[in-house]
Amino acid sequence: MSALAHRRFLKMHGAGNAIVVLDLRGSDARVAPEEARAIAADPGSSFDQLMAIHDPASPGTDAYMRIYNTDGSESAACGNGTRCVAFAMLDDPAMARPAESGRLTLETSAGLVEVKRVAERSFTVDMGRPRLAWNEIPLRDPFPDTRRIELQIGPIDDPILHSPGVVSMGNPHAIFFTERDPAEFDLAKIGPLLENHPIFPERANISIAQVVGRDRIVLRVWERGAGLTLACGTAACATVVAASRLRMIARQATVALPGGELFIEWRADDHVMMTGPVFLEAEGTLAPELFDAAP
């Protein structure tokens, strides 16, 4: 029997991004890729990202997080999911443990993440410094300027989208800026082609962004390993960084995604701060038969 059988989970979302939080502290249980896929396939526990909470790995931290996409692959960062984990660890009766002043230090494979409560159901996450060098994102080819790279969809003389900015927020992002409403593009068709483009050796999150003011961006995202999503916190962060580098905005903006809004600030110390809400939808337990024929 899977070690995850009968485990309690919370189904949440942050600005529409479907999140499942699974508390594995106090055990040696790990989520295997096929188990993540099985959990995602069940309507009662479907997710964009699964956030598994483990005992701290480093002194001074509150927990270690592992982040899984619907295809079972792991991600090093998920801002919306991190806010949901913070809510669970601070407020959920079965998960909550004492924390000073509504602050947590969480660890992922990308490093430490600081989270603080700013309202009853709103949290600010320090997403760390963006990585802007081509080999840090990473890209296959050595582009000296990652504000815009040579990549396009459509005919050479009349591309549908071209010249994205690329940024890593612990995971790789490509952001195409357009003057049109991002909803006009068939991202369900374009997204998987670009996610798996050879120029991205670790695949990439693909975003289409419209800057509608000096402090507001409309965004749609095809998420690596998950597909079309109502929200993606790291994509919102990467988009504000990319737009700021092109002087389309200053260093902060509200990012409007189909599932809600996030406020992003790229501070002078190079850290990207993301503030947004969390919503608790339901709780449940993972049935043993869910894993009997895990895909």
Positions marked active-site:
78, 232
How far apart are the C-alpha atoms of 238 and 213, rounded to whole Å?
Answer: 17
- Which of these, 192, 290, 237, 188, lies nearest to 82 by C-alpha position? 237
Q: Do 108 and 67 touch, CB atoms closer than 8 A?
A: yes
Contacts of 100 (CB under 8 A, 6+ apart): none
Burial call 107-139: b when 16+ CB within 10 Å, e when fewer = bbebeebbbebeeeeebbbbbbbbbbebeebbb
Among residues 266, 290, 208, 223, the alpha carbon closest in space to that of 19 is found at 223
Say if CB 88 and CB 23 are below 8 A apart: yes
**Residues 75 and 113: beta-carbon distance below 8 Å:** no
- Residue whose tokens read 């071209």: 162
Whether the upstream peptide bond of residue 138 has omega within 30° of 0, thus cis, is yes
Query: Alpha carbon of 108 to those of 38, 51, 111, 242: distances in Å?
Result: 23, 11, 5, 24
Nearest to 89 by CA among 109, 117, 60: 117
Tell which residue, 243, 273, 237, has the closest CA to residue 257.
237
